Structure 1
């Protein structure tokens, strides 16, 4: 078995599709390395190239150029070995079978599958075991797909909008299970439109737009890079004009707003601004916060539609 230290290695990967006599480049020369045991959220607007990138990782499509490896080998080989499983948004379910029949059938295709009852319990679908797939809601079908993905006990889970259609309770249960898997050392890569899921669950965020990688870092780093940090403090209203002038003269300051002595400063270096506010300007009640993930998403991806 290949002992590559990295779960996913993508080098200069390009994926092009021919449509109507022209060529569309869905993924445009991306480089990405994901070590084993990381929890990575893949974010981006519709058409960013997220699903195409994940399809290459799980071997559903090959890059037009460049290279994609999973645990140091070709994605399809890693999938055949049971080291990779995926939870996709649609497809792959036989509507006339029951939930248990579906899990049992797929389990029979693996040499050393997880026990059917265990997979169903971890996916929180034991209560609907006898229900026909056709009678399951979208969220229940997604939980069923998750159970199927767990059967080979994979080293890498790739999730494309995994909680689509789930209610709040089901989403919370799903992420509880995923946290347990991650603590056990499994690598998890997921694409989602729920930014709060990426914010609360991912150790690392990779953002795509227009087929390119536009950001890669922790949640705090993504927020800081995109929006800076926000520093709020209060001064005597009579001193407000001088305080604003001093702040605007600082190279770290990106923007300042003031109202009745309340100062709100967006800055690339919040520590420098805090020192100035407390020691030079004489402000009080200082508070530092990062920009929101929604703000970062908009700023990093705006103007990238194709």
Structure 2
């Protein structure tokens, strides 16, 4: 018998296992979305992110454990009417105009946003009469976002939502996602842009080889990695510095040398001694991208 779960948790995976033949995609994964919060599900390619999303959407079934929307099966029509979905790949008719796509999708929901609201939120001004197939990749992503939010979803699934967008459009979409969350929507975000996760997420879960290997707020994930990032303009060899005690990695970005190290102070002192002409020195705490790489690298080594 399936255990009872609270419908107050909009979407969750409970001890979920999923295999594809000999391949284990998910192993004992627990995940829960909360109203008004953005959960970033991060992981390298093949970690199981797409499988987790597919189970929550009811596109696949678990081998063991439970995937639930509002305390019920993801296949339940009542549950599906309360979610919005923006997948990484969308097959929309190229010949339909943007306005026609929005009008058609709005018709599936009893209390949909108006076309004007969809246009404003997704930044589609001037595009309603354009055929979908004649839009740029970034414009198509904005249309897909409009379709995802037009039914006033209580849970919003966003799979790589800003792929193909320029920086201005990306930031506009970030603001729109933040507004959905502020209005009480639970958001699940998967992205390879770690600065996007850092800008949007309230909570982070790192998935690797089918298991959750880290979870917490962005600040907690960053704090779990003690290393610092040192940047400076110097002619010193990155390969040589990478061998210094305390240095995790060193790489060159043009004239700038970037070093991941802990503690930072002895590395900085040694740099200044080795190159008196060194300039542009900057030391900062590890960001989410640094923490993500450290976590996944350590798990891979283990």
TM-score range, shorter chain: 0.7 to 0.9
Q: Does 1:103 align with 2:102?
A: yes
**1:12 and 2:15 are equivalent in the alignment:** yes
Residues 63-74 of structure 1 aligned to structure 2 (within 5 Å): 63-74=62-73
Q: Secondary structure at the match of 2:126?
A: helix
- Measure, in 2, the Cα distance between the counterparts of 1:260 and 1:112: 59
Give the superposition deviation at 1:221. Answer: 1.0
Q: Could you tell me whether the CA contact under 8 Å between 1:85 and 1:150 is conserved in 2? A: yes
Q: Is the 8 A contact 1:78 1:84 kept in 2?
A: no
Deviation of 1:168 after TM superposition, in Å, equals 0.7
Aligned residues between the structures = 258
Q: 1:259/1:63 Cα in 2 relative to 1: closer, same or farther (>3 Å)?
A: closer
**Offset of 1:294 from its aligned partner?**
1.9
Between structure 1 and structure 2, the one with the greater Rg is 1
Change (3 A) 1:259 1:11: closer
Structure-1 separation of matches of 2:84 and 2:78: 7
1:25 positional shift? 1.5
CA 1:172–1:256 in 2, change beyond 3 Å: closer, same or farther?
Answer: closer
- Following TM superposition, the consecutive aligned residue runs of length 4 or more in structure 1 with deviations greater than 6 angstroms are none
Paired residues for 1:1-306 under 5 Å: 4-18=7-21, 23-77=22-76, 81-225=80-224, 227-228=225-226, 230=228, 255=263, 257-258=265-266, 290-302=285-297, 304=300
Kept in 2: contact 1:71–1:78 (CA 8 A): no
Q: Give the structure-1-normalised TM-score.
A: 0.77
By how many angstroms is 1:115 displaced?
1.4
1:252-296 alpha-carbon deviations (Å, 9 max, x no partner): xx6465268589xxxxxxxxxxxxxxxxxxxxxxx9953122221
CA separation of 1:199 and 1:94: change in aligned 2, threshold 3 A = same
- With structure 2 as the length reference, what TM-score do the two structures score? 0.78
CA distances 1:16-67 after superposition (whole Å, capped 9, x unpaired)? 123xxxx221112211222222111111111111111011111111111110
* Unmatched tracts of structure 2, length 5 or more: 231-245, 247-261, 272-281
Q: Give, in whole Å, the separation in 2 of the partners of 1:140 and 1:260.
A: 45
Give distance in 2, aligned partners of 1:127 and 1:191.
Answer: 29
CA RMSD of aligned residues (A): 2.8
